[in-house]
Structures are given as structure tokens and as C-alpha cells.
Amino acid sequence: INNDTASDDAKNARDILNFLTAKDCYILSFTFNSDLTVTASNSSNYVEISVNSAGTGLEIPCPTESDTEASTYTFDGMVLNILDGNGETVSVDVTINGDVMAVDAADLDIPNFNDSGELIFIKR
């Protein structure tokens, strides 16, 4: 995200995601299958932030719960189309470089992730 133009919410979300990612904790994941089905797991509703026991900083444990949604997708090499839970097609431009897929956060329209910036997904 652009620090000069991003909202405080976007900056805080970026910092939380960076912190959790460094702990090998991923809040949002997609599993794309060869049969054109996709499973999305989103733990953002279960992130808990508290003050650590020493009172010197924040404690953000990796969520153990997630919301999961199964759907279908198409990908033409540039645009990813996913059928959402309401039966509507969400189309997003993606950039793929090796095992890394970048998506404009606003285009993906996932609550808690759609303010600004890019979402980066790494193939595992």
C-alpha cells in the first residue's frame, strides 16, 4: 500500500498481516484445483488483538477458526473470475510471476481486505 494515501485502517491491516505472515500464519488462502473449483479460507473475522502480559506491546495469536467457501473459477491468464456466495461473478485482474499472484485488494471485494493495496498469494 502507499503510505502517503492509505487509510489508517489499511496500514494497520498491512502491519497485522505482515506480523502474522512472519509467524507462518495466513489469514486468507485460496486453493485452486485443476477441475476449476476453488476453496477460500478467511480467518479475518477471528483475529484477536490484545495487550501482552507484560503490558509492553500487542499480542496477536494466529486464529484457529476460519470461514470457508467453495466455488468455481476461470482464469484466462490475466483475469480471474470467481463465483461468489451470492451467485455473482467477481472478476479481478491478477499478475502472476512464478509462484506469486498479486491481486488489487479493492477488486477482490473481500471484507476486511478491500480497502487498498495489493494482496500477495504464494503458491505452496
Report the C-alpha gap between 41 and 29 in whole angstroms.
5
Q: What is the pLDDT at residue 12? A: 81
Q: What is the pLDDT at residue 25? A: 92
* pTM of this structure: 0.75
Q: What is the pLDDT at residue 1? A: 66
Task: Count Cβ atoms below 10 Å from residue 56 Cβ, excluding itself.
Answer: 7
pLDDT band for position 78 (cuts 50, 70, 90): very high
Please say if the pLDDT value at position 92 is more than 80: yes
Q: Tell me: the pLDDT tens digits for 6-61?
A: 778 778 878 888 888 899 998 888 899 999 999 999 998 999 988 888 888 888 99
Dihedral angle sign, alpha carbons of residues 41, 116, 97, 20: negative
Q: Tell me: the pLDDT tens digits for 94-124?
A: 999 999 999 887 777 666 666 677 888 888 7
Task: Count Cβ atoms below 10 Å from residue 27 Cβ, excluding itself.
Answer: 21
Q: What is the pLDDT at residue 122? A: 85
Contact 117, 10 (CB under 8 A): yes
Please say if the pLDDT value at position 63 is more than 70: yes
SS3 117: coil
